[in-house]
Amino acid sequence: GLRKGGNFLLNTSWSVEELDANLPANMKKYIADNNINFYTINATKVAEELGLGNRTNMIMQAAFFKLANVVPVEDAVKYLEDAIVKSYGRKGDKIVNMNKAAVQRGISDLVKVEVPASWSQASCEGSCSACSACGEKPEFITNVVEPMNKQEGDKLPVSTFVGREDGTFPHGTAAYEKRGIAVHVPAWKIENCIQCNQCSFVCPHASIRPVLVNAEEKANAPEGFETKKAMGKGFEGLEYRIQVSPYDCTGCGNCADICPAKDKALVMEPIDSQLKEAPRWNYSVEKVSIKDNLMDKHTVKGSQFAKPYLEFSGACAGCGETAYAKTVTQLFGDRMLIANATGCSSIWGGSAPSTPYCKDKNGRGPAWANSLFEDNAEYGYGMAVATRQIRESIRIAMETVLENTNSEDVKAAFNEWIANMEDAEGSKAASAKVLSVLDGYKPCDACEKAIKEILDKKDYLVKKSVWIFGGDGWAYDIGYGGLDHVLASGEDINVLVMDTEVYSNTGGQSSKATPTASVAKFAAAGKRIKKKDLGLIATTYGYVYVAQVAIGADKNQFMKALTEAESYHGPSIIIAYAPCINHGIKAGMGKTVDREKKAVDAGYWHLYRFNPILKDQGKNPFTLDSKEPTASFREFLEGEVRYTSLKGTFPEVAEDLFNRAEVNAKDRLDSYKRMAEMKYE
């Protein structure tokens, strides 16, 4: 711990009175007993005032050097300002000057806290709101997750892991973190809400959701649980509410930005004013039933009444990847197998001890695993082949029973399962009947071994939805050979590529998905060659389902692509445009969904679907879903630092590369148009 007389700096908006109310008792007692010099600074407010958004790094660094006294503070300021010019000079004088101002404010805005004498008597009786946000915690959270999060995992004895020798972690541990990292979170304005569910659809962290309650659930709800009459066929007698989890929200603001209501139904408010929503959130997820069967789940609105099996990940605020993956789990999560390539999606998808993939009350949810960067496609392919073989062995076992049993109920159930084994929803109903008739069934000697095999493999009765997740660094580059092999195999498997156009997780290196003129590591002078067209390459097989999507541009097209891809009995690949913090979006990460729309409007990104089934029907399998560009391509580039920085560092090539980037995008669109106009007889 901090030594006696040490300095402790806290970035907070709390006053001394609020510190007293919210700091844990053991922390207050330690500060008082050890004569800690306690300082606060509202770096978040300073950053907002200076136009830095949520970037507090220079403010906090300056405050550190002021307090640490490792070098004279005047020298520290000079070194920091020199580093600012070196690091941010290519982004322009405005950015440089804002960061220099941040250094000065980091020194001037420090506040020394006079520690109350009462803190030495602080006890744990009664706890702050954050301490009780999660309610009761499972043993694994207390004994494993929390020590690991405190970086005390090395202290755990081997006995802690008895029963977990295979290395598996339980689902949904991220739900117990309740980090409370947002400065502002959305507040729901009930009178303005049009019940479109778009806010929930785009939320990267599943921390805002629509709730449908019946009369009993409404009557038992906590105080302040406001609702309005649910609109739509099938919702008769139900009330509707948008519920936010303030401790899980990251404050990106995409939900408020996307709200289509004339008067916004979501307004970003200081988190302190919204902590009252925590018990209402707990009630909505613990006591209110999921009502996902009242309308088509394969629609934008309908999908959001389904449970997201991906929630509260550690992805960046405003992440462009997670909304895609979350929606996949809402449609297929109770029967999913996921092979995840190393990269951002494996980090937010499963950084020990945090597991954002979760299960429902029936214990069903995605089975997720990560192998390596370079072999993920093969890894997922192995899952698909193994699953197919296991289910085939179940079919053979059932046929053995059918030849020998006299039970008409067993015959009917087994025949129904065999007829529906490749149909997702059909296999669910048939599987339930199989398990029902086998409960208490006394098999004949000739059937006993086969019945045992069926029951041993009962987890595979329902058709699995096998998915391979990864980013462009994996799909376009390092793992492309394996991906091509898997797509060529003809196996019934699905691939989701979250295309950020750089190696995001390792710091923004150029990949084959990086477009012309974009500045990235290993392309500091702008990418000189054009973006690889992964989707077009995949269409050349003819039997691979291919789609290119962007939820900000067309949510319905994305839902169509998801539904068609998963139901297609063969390989499918969906390539999703995913804005990233590495893009340097000038409007901020609260505009990532809007950037997706702008990318399509400007002709920077195109939407299409290639469905081989249509070819079998004598129709053109290629559908160009995006319209003719209506916005300026150059203006779109001007909205991101990864492009505009080129004008500052290499102005002599910037104009030429920008022109080439626009020509490349137009050429790609023209090729799609030609494909869409082809005649199939």
Residue extents of the structural domains in the chain:
7-121, 391-454, 501-676
Q: How far apart are CA 321 and CA 316, in angstroms?
A: 10
Model confidence at 135: pLDDT above 70: no
pLDDT range class, residue 124, cuts 50, 70, 90: low
Q: Which CATH architecture has domain 501-676?
A: 3-Layer(aba) Sandwich (3.40)
Q: Is-contact 329 147, C-beta < 8 A? A: no
Model confidence at 379: pLDDT above 50: yes
Q: Is-contact 613 568, C-beta < 8 A? A: yes
Compute the CA torsion angle 581, 582, 584, 590 (nearest 10 deg).
-10
* Angle, CA of 361, 362 and 364, to the nearest 5°: 105
pLDDT of residue 125: 55
pLDDT range class, residue 91, cuts 50, 70, 90: confident
Q: Which residue has the tokens 């408020």?
A: 256
Chain segment 181-229, per-residue pLDDT in tens: 999 999 999 999 999 999 999 999 999 999 999 999 999 999 999 999 9
Q: What is the pTM of this model?
A: 0.91
Q: Which residues on adjacent β-strands are paired with residue 523?
A: 520
pLDDT range class, residue 242, cuts 50, 70, 90: very high
pLDDT of residue 515: 97
Could you tell me which of 360, 369, 357 has the C-alpha nearest to residue 175? 357
pLDDT of residue 16: 82
One fold for 7-121 and 501-676? no
- Beta strands in 214-284, from DSSP E residues, in sequence order: 228-229, 239-244, 266-270
pLDDT of residue 1: 72
Chain segment 553-604, per-residue pLDDT in tens: 999 999 999 999 999 999 999 999 999 999 999 999 999 999 999 999 999 9
Q: How far apart are CA 278 and CA 113, in angstroms?
A: 29
Could you tell me which of 532, 101, 115, 559 has the C-alpha nearest to residue 332? 559
Fold classified for 7-121 = Pyruvate-ferredoxin Oxidoreductase; domain 3 (3.40.920)
* Angle, CA of 291, 292 and 295, to the nearest 5°: 110
